[in-house]
Structure 1
Amino acid sequence: MSHSLASMTGYARVTGAAAGASFTCEIKSVNSRGLDIRLRLAPGFDALESDIRQLIGKMVSRGSVTCNLAVEREGAGGNVLVNQQALATVLAAMGELAGKVDAAPPSLDGILGLKGVLEQRDLPMTAAAEADLSAAILQGVSQALVDLALARRQEGGRIAAMLLQRLQEIEAQIAQAETHPARTREAILARLRQQVSALADDITLPEERLAQEALLLATKADIREELDRLTAHLGSARQLIAGGGAVGRRLDFLAQEFNREANTLCSKSNAVELTAIGLDLKASIDQLREQVQNIE
């Protein structure tokens, strides 16, 4: 299997014929938390269910997969049989009504025309023909799964490009927060002086006391750890995308971790501009997570 990312969304359709019968196999898949397989098989082909489930399980690790199998036999309706039970019921009813109703007796074609008296059944297949048809159907299902995997990988490639774009945005926002002047102790001290003087003109605090308060505020507002963790998550996300495979759940977990750090950054923020960067960061992370939901 390819190491590229795969989407959970895809569709494939394969037709085939064998042993005097034609078949169509349609497989589609959509998002799901795990692997959910639903089969709709043509009447008489329930014996293939286990094999088809195994084939799907080998090719797909996550997604809600629906497989529809339709089969049409060339000799469909080739045998016409009299349903003896239905005929006996009709004849018994006629016997009961014989002396009670003044009507001409029904004709043979009238009786045979009654629903259920005549039945059309498929011509029986030999065991060898049935085995050939089953083998051809399983081959068709395998081909449909190969086509489905290709469709899912193509869609996965498009999603991977969007994910890398989101990660680039997040990286730029981390850099903005990193270099923002509001984070410096000097900026915090200047703001504190301004706030103190705005409270009252006649209050003057010693420079040493202001410096202590500024240090305390700077410690509370320090987002160094959050920025470091966000940068580490960026590296992990890029590594997972490059490695490919079924990494959807791990990417989703990383997106949650991104969000946790962005929330802390916003709550620690000591400046409107820094809060704005944090909110932009959260918006980018939300978009990232939305796209991750479709990765296998």
Structure 2
Amino acid sequence: MANNRELNKVRSMTAFGRAEGTYATGTAIWELRSVNHRYLEPHFRLPEVGRPLEAKLRDTLRKTLSRGKLELTLTIKPNSVEHTGLEINQPLAKALIHAARQVAAGEDTQPLNPLQILQWPGVISEPEADTEQQSATILQTFREALQQLRANREREGAELAKFIEARLVGIEGQVALVRERLPEILEAQREKLRNRLEELSIDLDKERLEQEIVLLAQKADVDEELDRLSAHTAETRRVLAGGGAIGRRLDFLMQEFNREANTLSSKSIVTDTTQAAVELKVLIEQMREQVQNIE
């Protein structure tokens, strides 16, 4: 159930994630950055030790995210000298010291320098890195950074969903306003037509006048556009509630919103509906800009 709830969250494509993991000889540091993109486009920056793991890293990424342009940087920091666990080959060092003293016996030579002994091949050995442990740490740390990135995406996605919901409420308000005013607008236009005909001294029979009024009403009839705007509002809410990778679906809905707003504007015969169409376009554009950043 927990996994299903995670899938239902709205996710932004802009986020950052960072994680560190230590192993015997060093520390693995992952830094992940993502921005919006039509597809999933990862760019890995890996040191040599990370290259054999790239296929596994990409597979993990694909299972977690579906869209976004990502920069994924791995940094390996070796432990400082005091923690490297350097080992001294004591028998070899003693043998070298003994040999040096024998050579120096009776000779006027400089005192033996310990650093020269340590520089002799084989005197100091550094423990070999445990590649299995190192690889496991790199993979685990990557998963942790990726989960942090995803969590940040979800937090920003929740804010985007709130932003879009506020605009949907605004759209509903404009639709309700036009619906409420529509009968009054049509009646005013009928009266305007009658007055205009009287001013021009055009005597139309009652049937012809009714035909003209019907044509005017048809031209100004925006019930279908208002119904579709309401339907798109409901569908947008449904998609947001479903969560997941919904960016493309929302982008399509924004196009449909724009189509209806443009039609409403073209059918407008009074200032009220023209102003409502303008307000709708502003609200839709605000949503569209934010939808571009939703996964």
- When normalised by structure 2's length, the TM-score is 0.79
| Corresponding residue pairs, total | 249
Please give the root-mean-square deviation of Cα atoms over the aligned residues, in Å.
2.1
Aligned partners of 2:175 and 2:228: how far apart in 1?
Answer: 10
Aligned partners of 2:269 and 2:231: how far apart in 1?
Answer: 24
Identity %: 42
- AA aligned to 1:141 is F
- AA aligned to 2:175 is I
Counterpart residue number, 1:280: 279
Counterpart residue number, 1:235: 234
String of CA shifts for 1:200-255, please: whole Å, max 9, x gaps: 3x333333322210101111221111111111111111111112111111011111
Aligned partners of 2:189 and 2:55: how far apart in 1?
Answer: 68
String of CA shifts for 1:149-170, please: whole Å, max 9, x gaps: 1100000111111110010000
Does residue 167 of structure 1 match 2:187? Answer: no
Aligned partners of 1:153 and 1:124: how far apart in 2?
Answer: 45
Aligned partners of 2:31 and 2:64: how far apart in 1?
Answer: 15
Counterpart residue number, 2:293: 294
- AA aligned to 1:232 is A
After TM superposition, the structure 1 = structure 2 runs for residues 121-270 of structure 1, keeping only pairs within 5 Å, are 126=128, 129-181=130-182, 185-198=186-199, 200=200, 202-270=201-269
Aligned partners of 1:273 and 1:171: how far apart in 2?
Answer: 16
String of CA shifts for 1:177-215, please: whole Å, max 9, x gaps: 1111466543221121233344x3x33333332221010
- Report the CA distance shift for 1:169/1:125 in structure 2 as closer, same or farther (over 3 A): farther
String of CA shifts for 1:256-276, please: whole Å, max 9, x gaps: 101101111111112121111
Aligned partners of 1:166 and 1:185: how far apart in 2?
Answer: 28
Aligned partners of 2:196 and 2:292: how far apart in 1?
Answer: 46
Offset of 1:15 from its aligned partner? 1.3
Aligned residue for 2:48, secondary structure, equals coil
Q: Is the contact made by 1:183 and 1:218 (CA closer than 8 Å) also made in structure 2?
A: no
Q: Is the contact made by 1:185 and 1:215 (CA closer than 8 Å) also made in structure 2?
A: no
Aligned residue for 2:42, secondary structure, equals strand
Counterpart pick for 2:46 among 41, 47, 54: 41
Q: Is the contact made by 2:185 and 2:270 (CA closer than 8 Å) also made in structure 1?
A: no
Aligned partners of 1:182 and 1:281: how far apart in 2?
Answer: 20
Aligned partners of 2:155 and 2:184: how far apart in 1?
Answer: 44
- Report the CA distance shift for 1:183/1:253 in structure 2 as closer, same or farther (over 3 A): farther
Q: Is the contact made by 1:173 and 1:277 (CA closer than 8 Å) also made in structure 2?
A: yes
Counterpart residue number, 1:118: none
Aligned partners of 1:190 and 1:283: how far apart in 2?
Answer: 32
Offset of 1:55 from its aligned partner? 1.1
Aligned residue for 1:278, secondary structure, equals helix
